[in-house]
Amino acid sequence: MTRQHDTVVILDFGAINSQAAAKSVRSLNIYCEVLPCTATAERISALAPKAIMLQRGAACGEATLRRQPAADPEAFGVPVLDLADRACDAETLKPFLVGQCGLKQDWTVAAFIDEAIADIRRTVGDRKVLLAMSGGVDSSVCAVLAHRAVGRQLTCVFVDHGLMRKDEPQEVCSVFRDRFGIALRHVDARDRFLDKLAGVGDPERKRKIIGEEFIRVFEEEARSAGEPDYLVQGTIYPDIIESGWDGGKPVKAHHNVGGLPKNIAFKGLVEPLKYLFKDEVRQVALALGIPASIAMRQPFPGPGLGVRCLGEVTREKLDILREADAIFRQAILDAGLEQQASQYFAVLTGNRSVGVSNDARTYAYTVALRAVKTSDFMTARFVPVPMEVLETVSGKITAALPQVNRVVYDITHKPPATIEWE
Ligand code: XMP
């Protein structure tokens, strides 16, 4: 699909800013891919690059400077730019890419949409496709693209595991059914998940149960949809780039909605977003007419509120958390702070403490609020939400929820903390 556009290859020597360089190139509407410096000549040639950039970066030190590329960048007969020690914003790169290399600036959102739809149609033909809708921006964009491409051949499944935020299931269903006419199947699996989670307090065990149960429900849905041949997944480009590198040991067992069910043999995967960065997915979402409440939505983990309700997950605790979380998120929006935080949410700690209300002793839950800013989710800084906003939120939460008598704000960066509490 991308071959129709002039392509730039960035050879990444383990620099921290390779993705930033790629985003700068793409912001000029020039298509660009990041390959590890270990990429073979065949892999690079397959992209037929019109220019190659080497990204060792100033900030990545000794080891990356010593790395040698597997293929000689000069051997491809196209201009090569070594970005070491150079800023890589779009304006700095433009003279090289447009002036010197004469690359066409035709990789636009509209072009992406047309090509992605044509691609899905070509891959799927007249067969059936299955998609797990999470309500997040990635699966939403996939759903609209796939629906435009193959219409009724698409089965779109939304598994409500009971761990969603306030009003989320209703919003997702109404947007996709009413606005886009997608026949979204809303599977009410709340009792299944919550019964499985009863009495389980260990965070990793909870994640595992949620992940496995999700796959089980999804398999059943696939069976009742006549075992479609293709599965649509919302994989995005950072997942691909990062899995191409050595990577570290995961800190938590991530569960991703849309994870491949093991017992169903799909003929193939359709991953329309696998070359897009998150910001680009959001632009595509808006261009497709997906409302900003979904297009700009903050990331939400696959296991949902299950990892924000510490210890055993119960219906009562989830109801408290949903309400406290909705109050905090609304306050962030009201204060116009949503651009300053990449993620902001409430956590129901398993902790209860002594308080006082109407002259009587209470023994109630502590709610923690967390807001972080991050560009890559590998590290993050807590956002200094103004004290007045926190005070208002604390007042509203304790007034609305007698089960809560203490509200605290998490002032820990990642590391040493993680973004989620479990
Ligand atoms: P942590 O807590 O590891 O989170 O600092 C980093 C980012 O990943 C999200 N997260 C998940 N996303 N499935 C997901 O799809 C998961 O199991 C999961 N666990 C954490 C988290 O919200 C943050 O954006």
Pocket test for ligand 1, best of 133, 252, 373, 422 (most atoms within 8 A of CB): 252
Measured in Å, residue 279 CA sits from the centre of ligand 1 at 18
pLDDT value at 202 more than 80: yes
DSSP category for residue 177: I
Q: In this structure, which residue's CA is closest to atom 12 in ligand 1? A: 301
Averaged over 397-412, what is the pLDDT?
98
Is 251 close to ligand 1, i.e. is its CB under 6 Å away?
Answer: yes
- SS3 of residue 359 by DSSP: coil
Measured in Å, residue 46 CA sits from the centre of ligand 1 at 34
Measured in Å, residue 203 CA sits from the centre of ligand 1 at 13
276-294 confidence digits (pLDDT tens): 999 999 999 999 999 999 9
Measured from the Cβ of residue 282, the count of other Cβ atoms closer than 10 Å reads 20
In which residue ranges of the chain is CATH 3.40.50.620 found? 109-295
pLDDT tier, 248 (very low <50, low <70, confident <90, very high otherwise): very low
Measured in Å, residue 98 CA sits from the centre of ligand 1 at 38
Is 139 close to ligand 1, i.e. is its CB under 6 Å away?
Answer: no
120-147 confidence digits (pLDDT tens): 999 999 999 999 999 999 999 999 999 9
Measured in Å, residue 245 CA sits from the centre of ligand 1 at 19
Q: Where are the beta strands (DSSP E) in 161-300?
A: 184-188, 230-232, 268-270
Is 378 close to ligand 1, i.e. is its CB under 6 Å away?
Answer: no
pLDDT value at 247 more than 50: no
What pLDDT does 85 receive? 63
Contact 44, 71 (CB under 8 A): yes
Q: Characterize the bridge pairing of strands 154-160 and 80-82.
A: unpaired
pLDDT tier, 60 (very low <50, low <70, confident <90, very high otherwise): low
pLDDT value at 244 more than 90: no
pLDDT tier, 61 (very low <50, low <70, confident <90, very high otherwise): confident
For residue 133 the two structure tokens come to: 């809708």
HEC readout, 84-146: CCCCCCHHHHHHHHHHHCCCCCCCCHHHHHHHHHHHHHHHHCCCCEEEECCCCHHHHHHHHHH
Cα→Cα distances 210→213, 219, 323, 359, Å: 5, 14, 22, 42
Is 301 close to ligand 1, i.e. is its CB under 6 Å away?
Answer: yes
pLDDT value at 257 more than 60: no
Measured in Å, residue 164 CA sits from the centre of ligand 1 at 15
157-200 confidence digits (pLDDT tens): 999 999 999 999 999 999 999 999 999 999 999 999 999 999 99
* Phi, psi of 175, rounded to the nearest 5 degrees: -60, -50
- What CA–CA distance (Å, rounded) separates 370 from 364? 20
pLDDT value at 296 more than 90: yes
Nearest to 403 by CA among 341, 357, 372, 335: 357
Pocket test for ligand 1, best of 207, 420, 421, 422 (most atoms within 8 A of CB): 420
For residue 82 the two structure tokens come to: 């070594």
303-351 confidence digits (pLDDT tens): 999 999 999 999 999 999 999 999 999 999 999 999 999 999 999 999 9
Number of residues written out for the chain = 422
Is 169 close to ligand 1, i.e. is its CB under 6 Å away?
Answer: no
Is 414 close to ligand 1, i.e. is its CB under 6 Å away?
Answer: yes
- CATH annotation of 7-100: 3.40.50.880
Is 306 close to ligand 1, i.e. is its CB under 6 Å away?
Answer: no
∠ CA 262-263-266 to the nearest 5 degrees?
A: 80
Nearest to 138 by CA among 296, 342, 372, 304: 296
In which residue ranges of the chain is CATH 3.40.50.880 found? 7-100
DSSP category for residue 74: G
Q: In this structure, which residue's CA is closest to atom 20 in ligand 1? A: 301
What pLDDT does 58 receive? 57
Domain 109-295 indexed as CATH 3.10.180.10:
no
- What CA–CA distance (Å, rounded) separates 391 from 397? 10
What pLDDT does 258 receive? 43
Domain 314-409 -> CATH class:
alpha beta
Atom of ligand 1 nearest to the CA of 418: 5
pLDDT tier, 256 (very low <50, low <70, confident <90, very high otherwise): low
Mean pLDDT of the chain: 92
pLDDT value at 246 more than 60: no
Measured in Å, residue 58 CA sits from the centre of ligand 1 at 29
pLDDT tier, 1 (very low <50, low <70, confident <90, very high otherwise): low
pLDDT value at 239 more than 90: no
Is 303 close to ligand 1, i.e. is its CB under 6 Å away?
Answer: yes
∠ CA 50-54-60 to the nearest 5 degrees?
A: 160
Measured in Å, residue 254 CA sits from the centre of ligand 1 at 7
Measured in Å, residue 171 CA sits from the centre of ligand 1 at 22
Higher pLDDT, 259 or 333: 333
Is 420 close to ligand 1, i.e. is its CB under 6 Å away?
Answer: yes
Measured in Å, residue 210 CA sits from the centre of ligand 1 at 14
286 half-sphere exposure, CB direction, 13 A CA radius: 10
Nearest to 187 by CA among 209, 152, 143, 218: 218
Is 203 close to ligand 1, i.e. is its CB under 6 Å away?
Answer: no
- SS3 of residue 212 by DSSP: helix
pLDDT tier, 241 (very low <50, low <70, confident <90, very high otherwise): confident
Atom of ligand 1 nearest to the CA of 255: 17
What's the whole-model pTM score? 0.92
